Amino acid sequence: MSTLVQTWHIACYEWFDALRSRRALVVLLLYLAAAVCNMHWSINLLHRLESELATALKLPASEQAGVVSTALWKSKPFQRMMKQMTRNDLVLRDITGKHPIELIYAWFAFFYTPLLVVLVASNRIAEEIGSGSVRYVFFRTSRASWSIGKFIGQMFMIGLALLLSGTSAYIVAKIRLAGSGTPDLFFNMVQWSLRAWVYSIPYLGLAMGLSHLTRSSSKATVMGILAITACFVLSILIRHFTTDTGWRAYLPHLGQLLPDAHKMLLWRNAPAPLIAGSATLITLGFCYLFTGYAFFRTRDV
């Protein structure tokens, strides 16, 4: 019990300490700014498309964006295009019921969260090993409690960043997009933030697991960036080279070790795939973390 309490104390302190660190604050602000700008530019694009459509149809152009988007969203040609993009009928069925602005935000959050994770968290463990500040902790608590506590603290940090970015994106949409200021949309944006947060956990585990391997803060960041890039590249290669027969038919099984293979489960509405996807991604995150920890626990500090 006391180990759990110690882990909790470390997690809370890590969160507050991360918030105080200049680097995390700068990255957090940049991420918020990117979320706001992404929403702003997406709405501008939407408005321009709508205006062009209205001109072509010789209809009066609307002052606000979003007037015809919802109708467009439900049209057959658009859905065919989405099917091509998602390559998953179940996902397509689930997302066509969503407000377009939700999907713009969701795309942003899922695409950029791994980068946010690497920039915020990849050096947290290496930095403390390098500076020797871990030496003040390890005679008070176990290394496992410390590593897990730091990981959970960073999960809080990323969660906060995503919730704030979701809220900011909602505020931009409410100001700029017709009929989008509903509480339902806000609730859905928060939900997408949470889904992106779950998706960030394996990347966080990967970045922090690697951070156990070095005493250099900059080396840990570079390793994090390389690892996450490798994840993306491997996912693409596995998709590209998979065939129905021969050894290549087993490639998707290897792909299960990568977060990308489970991403689409988080885009579903039904609780079963959502829970399964979340459980798998969280487990992957802890597995990556423990792999780094296994090396670290035998190391001198």
Partner 1 sequence: MDYAIESTELVKRYGARRALDGLTLAVPRYAVLGLIGPNGAGKTTWMMSIAGLLHLHSGTINLLGCGPFDPALHSGRITLLPQDSELPLESRPIDLLTHYGLLQRLTRREAKRAATEMLREVHLGDRLTATVRSLSHGMRKRVMIAQCFIGSPELVLLDEPLSGLDPREAAHMRTFLTRRRGRQTLVISSHNLNDIEAMCDRVAFIEKGRTVRNTTLEEVVGKNSTLVYRVTREPADYAALTAAVSDATFSFNAETSDLTCRYDSRRFTAEAINRILLPALLAQCDVSTITRGDNLENAYLNQVIGNG
2-20 and 22-56 helices, crossing angle to 10°: 70
Q: What is the smallest separation between the CB atom of 299 and partner 1, expressed in angstroms?
A: 8
- Give whole-number Cα distances, 98 to 73, 93, 264, 267, in Å: 9, 10, 15, 11
Q: Find the distance separating the first CA and the last CA of the chain, reported in whole Å.
A: 26
How far apart, in whole angstroms, are the C-alpha atoms of residue 151 and residue 148?
A: 5
Alpha-carbon Rg for the chain, nearest whole angstrom, is 22
Q: Which stretch binds partner 1 (CB under 8 A): 86-94, 131-139, 209-217, 275-283?
A: 131-139
Binders of partner 1 among residues 22 to 81 (CB under 8 A) are: 22
- What's the one-letter identity of residue 83? K
Q: Which residues contact residue 55 at a Cβ distance below 8 angstroms, ignoring those fewer than 6 apart? A: 61
Q: What is the smallest separation between the CB atom of 131 and partner 1, expressed in angstroms?
A: 4
How far apart, in whole angstroms, are the C-alpha atoms of residue 156 and residue 120?
A: 12
Binders of partner 1 among residues 143 to 172 (CB under 8 A) are: 145
Instruction: Check residue 84 for interaction with partner 1 (CB under 8 A).
Output: no
Nearer to partner 1, 139 or 247 (CB): 139
Nearer to partner 1, 21 or 291 (CB): 21
Q: What is the smallest separation between the CB atom of 26 and partner 1, expressed in angstroms?
A: 13
Q: Which stretch binds partner 1 (CB under 8 A): 28-36, 133-141, 168-176, 217-225?
A: 133-141
Q: Which stretch binds partner 1 (CB under 8 A): 34-42, 126-134, 223-231, 274-282?
A: 126-134
Q: Which stretch binds partner 1 (CB under 8 A): 48-56, 137-145, 243-251, 267-275?
A: 137-145
In the beta sheet, which residues pair with residue 227? none
Instruction: Check residue 215 for interaction with partner 1 (CB under 8 A).
Output: no
Instruction: Check residue 301 for interaction with partner 1 (CB under 8 A).
Output: yes
Instruction: Check residue 131 for interaction with partner 1 (CB under 8 A).
Output: yes
Token pair for residue 258? 């990568």
Any idea which residue has 């409690």 for tokens? 145
Write down the number of H helices and E strands in the chain: 12, 0
Residues that bind partner 1 (CB under 8 A): 2-3, 5-6, 9-10, 13, 16-17, 20-22, 128, 131-133, 135-142, 145, 298-301
